[in-house]
Structure 1
Amino acid sequence: MYKVLLVEDEQVIREGLKTLIEKVIGGFTVAAEAADGNEALHYLRTEMPDLIVTDIRMREVDGLAMIAKVREMYEDLPIVIISGYGDFQYAQKALKHKVTDYLLKPIDRIELAGTLEKIRQSLERKKQPRDPAPSGGGEERQIIRKVKAYIQDHTDGDLRLQTVAEVVHLHPIYLSQLFKTETGENISDYVTRMRMNRAKQLLRQTSLKVYDISRLVGYQSPKHFMIVFKKEVGMTPGSYREGGEEGEDL
């Protein structure tokens, strides 16, 4: 579990966010709560969470002032701003402090889940080494690493061959051939495998609905997602969530 510092001056909202983060999304636990920036900074002087989720406008020290001080202490600590204010100037100021995301109230649980999942994956990569480097030249290895990293970071987005090829500035056909040569796997199969891995994590670690999870792993059609999941995993998403073993013909 990754530790979250939750900063919000409204107790009811704070309790709702805590439930959403811990019970619905999963993978994170609210290690500390603060009603304003002062309380948060006091905590941060002795503890370092994995993530800060904070409102902008609060009594005493507000969210933006707090973030500026946090950046003096922890340059790369992920920060997600949640605010009822859609003022673009606030978003601009927040982005100057390298916040990870800026979400507006009322919270869209799918949007929040997507943001936290990307943060979780980033934290996981910092703890663990990348996939073993494929055989071949150094330049080719770097290209494949970049492609894999992009796919892993964007399982909820557009991962068509054309889109991925543009990321590494290669012709789609050449990238497809290079990926197959270096990894022994078609790039489309790798995309599907990464999406199904993400789906399995979300099914086991959260209480999100299957149709929500389908969106978070890049499928606009829940029916299509369930067909692909059963083909790849050997059971339906519901059966997998209930604890079925992969490969069962359910």
Structure 2
Amino acid sequence: MYRVLLVEDERVILDGLRELIIQTAPEFLVIGEASGGTEALDFMRSNVPDVLITDIRMREMDGLTLVSKAREMYPELLMIVISGYGEFEYARRAMEYGVLNYLLKPVELQEWVTAIHKIQLLLNRRYGVSSSQTLDTTREAQCNSGDTRKTIRDVKEYIRLHPDGDLRLQTIAALVHLNPTYLSQLFKNETGITFSEYIAEVRMERAKWLLVNTQLKIYDVARLSGHQSPKHFMLVFKQQVGWTAGEYRNRFSRDKQL
């Protein structure tokens, strides 16, 4: 699922946005809620959302200040601004910070669906997910050759989207209604590598991306890329990459390239 951070200082509106996501955007998960910009920035220092949805008018930090600071923190973060104020200046400044949509309260359902669909397409493209595919949890247990390829493709996409999730073979096998041993064999036959090797590759690539594109602490990078032990992560990273995580960040970070 794609991760969403909601920022709104009115509890009724915040609850309404969360419910709207549940009803209209099943591929999105609210991982954090904040009542203001400072709280939101604190949350983002140890968590990486895919999407930031924020109000413009808040008491201790306005939404435009928040999106400008969030853009500095995560240059690729996708953002939606929601406001009860229709002044052109707010919309113009929001777009300058790379905000994808500026929606007015009360949010109309069709405008919301259009905005969230646009964001899902962008995220699908970013993570290499086919927009016409989701993990199919109702497929038949037996697969013909074409179904086998689709099953493994869907499993790979699920792993790429959830590197820090529960990726045990038994868990994924249950999602696609296959015997774990059978799924393991299918995966090796179709990809040429084992299920666990693929997960390790995905998690390492996620860790590299976080190191280059964020300023998260190393233990947060380890956690968000699915490595439960920061010490083990640092050891494995050095063995596989040839540099420590800190050395890799210093060599390839976005700030170094600018």
Contact 1:7 1:37 in 2 (8 A): no
| 1:14 corresponding residue in structure 2 | 63
1:178 aligns with 2:169: no
5 Å matches for 1:219-230? 219-230=227-238
Distance in 2 separating the partners of 1:211 and 1:197? 16
Distance in 2 separating the partners of 1:225 and 1:53? 40
Closer/same/farther in 2, CA of residues 52 and 197 from structure 1, 3 Å limit: farther
1:230, distance to aligned residue in structure 2 (A): 1.8
- Aligned-residue Cα RMSD (Å) equals 3.9
| 1:203 corresponding residue in structure 2 | 211
1:159 aligns with 2:161: no
Distance in 1 separating the partners of 2:178 and 2:99? 36
| 1:232 corresponding residue in structure 2 | 240
| 2:145 corresponding residue in structure 1 | 137
SS state at 1:242 partner? helix
What are structure 1's unaligned runs of at least 5 residues?
55-60, 79-99, 101-118, 131-135, 245-250
Deviations 1:145-174 (A, max 9, x none): 111011011101111111111121111111
Compute the TM-score of the two structures, normalised by the length of structure 1: 0.60
Distance in 1 separating the partners of 2:221 and 2:65? 21
Counterpart of 2:86 (choices 38, 46, 53) is 38
Distance in 2 separating the partners of 1:19 and 1:35? 16
Compute the TM-score of the two structures, normalised by the length of structure 2: 0.59
1:8, distance to aligned residue in structure 2 (A): 2.0
Deviations 1:58-111 (A, max 9, x none): xxx53xx22525236546134xxxxxxxxxxxxxxxxxxxxx8xxxxxxxxxxx
SS state at 2:61 partner? helix
Deviations 1:189-217 (A, max 9, x none): 10010111111111111111111111111
The worse-fitting range, judged by mean Cα deviation, of 151-160 and 229-238 is 229-238
1:68 aligns with 2:117: no
| 1:169 corresponding residue in structure 2 | 177
Distance in 1 separating the partners of 2:211 and 2:114? 36
1:129, distance to aligned residue in structure 2 (A): 9.6
Identity over aligned residues, as a percent? 37
Number of matched pairs: 187
SS state at 2:86 partner? helix
Closer/same/farther in 2, CA of residues 143 and 128 from structure 1, 3 Å limit: closer
SS state at 1:145 partner? helix
Closer/same/farther in 2, CA of residues 128 and 140 from structure 1, 3 Å limit: closer
Q: Where has structure 1 moved over 6 Å in runs of 4 or more?
A: 2-5, 126-130
1:147 aligns with 2:155: yes
Closer/same/farther in 2, CA of residues 126 and 160 from structure 1, 3 Å limit: closer
Distance in 1 separating the partners of 2:211 and 2:108? 33
Contact 2:81 2:101 in 1 (8 A): no
Closer/same/farther in 2, CA of residues 226 and 72 from structure 1, 3 Å limit: closer
Counterpart of 2:126 (choices 124, 127, 149) is 124
Deviations 1:15-49 (A, max 9, x none): 5532552222332377x967536359x959xx8x7
